[in-house]
């Protein structure tokens, strides 16, 4: 209940309700973009300042390795399940969406942990960045396999399908480059490095920017996310019950895998909570933008609608306090 009394969460709920009643309240796209960049920059700085104090050690390396493993495992598992009742293209697209991460979910979780005085490592911001791209690569490879299968089944369309396969394979390197050099991704990593280099002196200078303003900016951004989530909820009316169940149940299972890895690797409760939320989250910005180019055969209303209309609100309202509680109960020493 305490999570619902957090101003940032309440602004998300308010935005969700305003969107559902079809209010004309909206945040202009340039302001929304600015807020997103601000949050990533502040998060990167805070993570860098924390890393400057702790350094890169075995614990940091273990957490990052767990993050990469999850980023590979989740989309592969998701595709195997989704392929049973969806086309190969839609299955690959949704698996990639749920195999990647939501930066806003991560940022909101860090704020929750800080407000409850639960320690976590600054390196988890790097873990989030590492988890963004693998799912895109896996989805492209899976889509190429589906196209190849279709070309074998239909000889009359073989030449056309082979051309599409070649085009997609050529674009894989481009997609990787765009993913790594994406402006938001680079800003996060750049701020992380700057925070590490400047350490305590940088932390003192940037305190107002990266700490004092953070909560208000997050609340404003979550208001916009509530409005956006409401619009995507209405787009899910034609989705099957099975997909809606997947959007709720699959993230819980992914979080369970992250918890198991955390226990096996001895992560602290704060890092484990963040890893669980990263595993449970789904991308609704970076991956969908890449999928529109890489897998045009997939239905965007499915992978965007499910991630933003179902999984994101569930994680923000229920997942964050739930996974935090579980991580503390299981991993508290």
Question: Domains of the chain, with CATH numbers?
Answer: 2-19+29-331 (1.20.1530.20)
What is the average pLDDT across 127-140? 87
Q: How does DSSP classify residue 4?
A: G
For the four alpha carbons of 129, 130, 131 and 136, in that order, the dihedral sign comes to positive
- How would you write 195-261 as a 3-class SS string? HHHHHHHHHHHCHHHHHHCHHHHHHHHHHHHHHHHHHHHHCCCCCCHHHHHHHHHHHHHHHHHHHHH
Residue of 276, 273, 270, 272 whose CA lies nearest to 252 = 276
What pLDDT does 106 receive? 94
CA 3 to chain centroid? 20
Alpha helices in 6-133 (DSSP H): 7-20, 29-54, 58-82, 88-99, 103-115, 124-130
- The owner of tokens 């693998």 is 134
Q: How does DSSP classify residue 117?
A: T
Q: Which two tokens stand for residue 144?
A: 């190429």
Contacts of 218 (CB under 8 A, 6+ apart): 8, 39, 107, 108, 111
Residue of 128, 122, 123 whose CA lies nearest to 46 = 122
User: Is 158 or 316 the better-scoring residue by pLDDT?
Assistant: 316
Indicate whether 196 pLDDT > 70: yes
What is the average pLDDT across 123-143? 87
Lowest mean pLDDT among 23-27, 48-52, 60-64: 48-52
What is the average pLDDT across 129-148? 85
| Number of other residues whose CB lies within 10 A of the CB of residue 261 | 22
- Cβ atoms of 63 and 267 closer than 8 Å: yes
Per DSSP, the three-state class of 131 is coil
Lowest mean pLDDT among 63-72, 191-200, 203-212, 284-293: 284-293
- Cβ atoms of 89 and 298 closer than 8 Å: yes
Per DSSP, the three-state class of 42 is helix
Lowest mean pLDDT among 109-118, 176-185, 264-273: 176-185
**CA distances (Å), 121 to each of 62, 113, 323, in order?**
12, 11, 17
């Amino acid at each position: 209940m305490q999570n619902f009394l957090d101003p940032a969460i309440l602004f998300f709920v308010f935005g969700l309700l305003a969107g559902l009643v079809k209010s004309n309240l909206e945040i202009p796209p340039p302001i929304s973009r600015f807020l997103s960049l601000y949050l990533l920059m502040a998060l990167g700085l805070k993570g860098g300042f924390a890393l400057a104090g702790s350094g890169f050690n075995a614990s940091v390396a273990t957490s990052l390795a767990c993050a990469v493993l999850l980023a590979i495992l989740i989309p592969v598992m998701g595709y195997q399940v989704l392929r049973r009742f969806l086309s190969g293209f839609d299955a690959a697209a949704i698996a990639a969406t749920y195999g990647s991460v939501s930066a806003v979910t991560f940022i909101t979780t860090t704020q929750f942990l800080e407000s409850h005085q639960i320690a976590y490592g600054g390196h988890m911001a790097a873990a989030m960045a590492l988890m963004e791209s693998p799912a895109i690569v896996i989805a492209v490879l899976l889509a190429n396999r589906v196209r190849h299968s279709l070309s074998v089944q239909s000889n009359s369309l073989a030449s056309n399908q082979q051309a599409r396969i070649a085009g997609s394979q050529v674009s894989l390197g481009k997609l990787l480059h765009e993913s790594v050099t994406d402006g938001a991704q680079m800003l996060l990593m750049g701020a992380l490095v700057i925070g590490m280099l400047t350490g305590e002196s940088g932390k003192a200078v940037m305190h107002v920017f990266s700490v004092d303003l953070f909560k208000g900016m997050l609340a404003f951004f979550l208001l916009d996310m509530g409005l956006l989530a409401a619009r995507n909820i209405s787009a899910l009316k034609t989705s099957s019950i099975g997909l809606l169940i997947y959007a709720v149940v699959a993230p819980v299972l992914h979080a369970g895998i992250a918890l198991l890895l955390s226990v096996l690797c001895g992560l602290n409760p704060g890092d484990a909570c963040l890893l669980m939320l990263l595993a449970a989250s789904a991308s609704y910005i970076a991956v969908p933008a890449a999928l529109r180019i890489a897998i045009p055969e997939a239905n965007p209303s499915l992978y965007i609608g499910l991630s933003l209309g179902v999984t994101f609100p569930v994680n923000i309202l229920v997942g964050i306090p739930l996974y935090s509680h579980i991580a503390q109960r299981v991993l508290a020493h």
